[in-house]
Structure 1
Amino acid sequence: MVPCIGRRNDGYVELDNRSGPSRGAPRDDGDFKARALMLRASRQVMLASNIANTDTPGYNATDINFRDALQSAMEAQVPLAGTNASHLSGASFQMSTAALAEFSLPAQSSLDGNSVDMDRERGEFARNAILYQLASAMLDDEAKEFKLASSDPRR
């Protein structure tokens, strides 16, 4: 029985000692971090679009449910085309941001039908920017660790 690290719904990491066919293959942590970074960037674009359209009559604000989007991104495995039988199989993440978008419910209705709540959008924009920087730093730290591990130990 080999221990595997798993992620709980609240974002914490836990050790899982289960094994067998009922348990899926462990996730690649670098892949998780890269996908989280891509989703944070997509969400930032969507929030910026909401802020830009705050005065557009009839505009419906959209957002991404990050937890659900990341879960579906980790489950979505698109096989890569191999040109040779000796190539290793791999997967790439390809998901449209439009498929992840959901309409935001306004806290208060407006006369022009616009559902953008500027206070909420600014807060979510700032929060997502901080989490994007964190995800970027984590991915950068991992790259530095790989570089250090592959360097000459006598230096």
Structure 2
Amino acid sequence: MAISFDKALGVHQYTLGIRAERAEVLSSNIANADTPHYKARDVDFQAALQSAKSQQRGLSMSQTSERHFDLAALTRQHIQFRVPNQPDTGDGNTVDIQQEQSAFMQNALEYQMSLGFLEGKFNGMKKAIKGD
């Protein structure tokens, strides 16, 4: 009997790649906090997750065929400019460093939680295979 990784791993297999991409976008915002005319961006996590779940069952880490799922392209299409919470300070930069740091930490915690959930799922599958 074949193991369905989609059913076994749930949504967490999709969230890791999207959260990693979001971490890159948020860190880019933080790095460019003092860059004139830089516009803060963020990943629309829900849209990226829905797109990932609908386009493929499972997530591969390398793309060896043109038919494989391309996570980077998927998340790039869900990167949007963030609506600023503060008025323009005159240099055209829309990065709010406190908001970016908060979002980065929240994303990091959620990434760690997804890793923990996946670890639990894999441990459960190992026990089922070994018969413990």
TM superposition score normalised by structure 1: 0.68
CA distance in 1: counterparts of 2:89 and 2:41, whole angstroms = 16
CA distance in 1: counterparts of 2:37 and 2:127, whole angstroms = 53
The percent of aligned pairs where both chains have the same amino acid is 37
Counterpart of 1:107 in structure 2 is 85
Asked if residue 58 in structure 1 is aligned to residue 37 in structure 2, the reply is yes
Letter in 2 for 1:93: F
Aligned-residue Cα RMSD (Å) equals 1.9
Structure 1 outlier segments of 4+, above 4 Å: none
Q: Which of 40, 50, 59 in structure 1 is aligned with 2:19?
A: 40
CA distance in 2: counterparts of 1:121 and 1:47, whole angstroms = 6
Give the strand-richer structure, 1 or 2.
1
Higher relative contact order (CA 8 A, sep 6+): 2
CA distance in 2: counterparts of 1:52 and 1:106, whole angstroms = 17
CA distance in 2: counterparts of 1:75 and 1:113, whole angstroms = 37
SS at match of 1:102: strand
Give the helix-richer structure, 1 or 2.
2
CA distance in 2: counterparts of 1:146 and 1:92, whole angstroms = 25
Count of residue pairs brought into register by the alignment: 115
**Contact preservation (8 Å) 2:39, 2:82:** yes
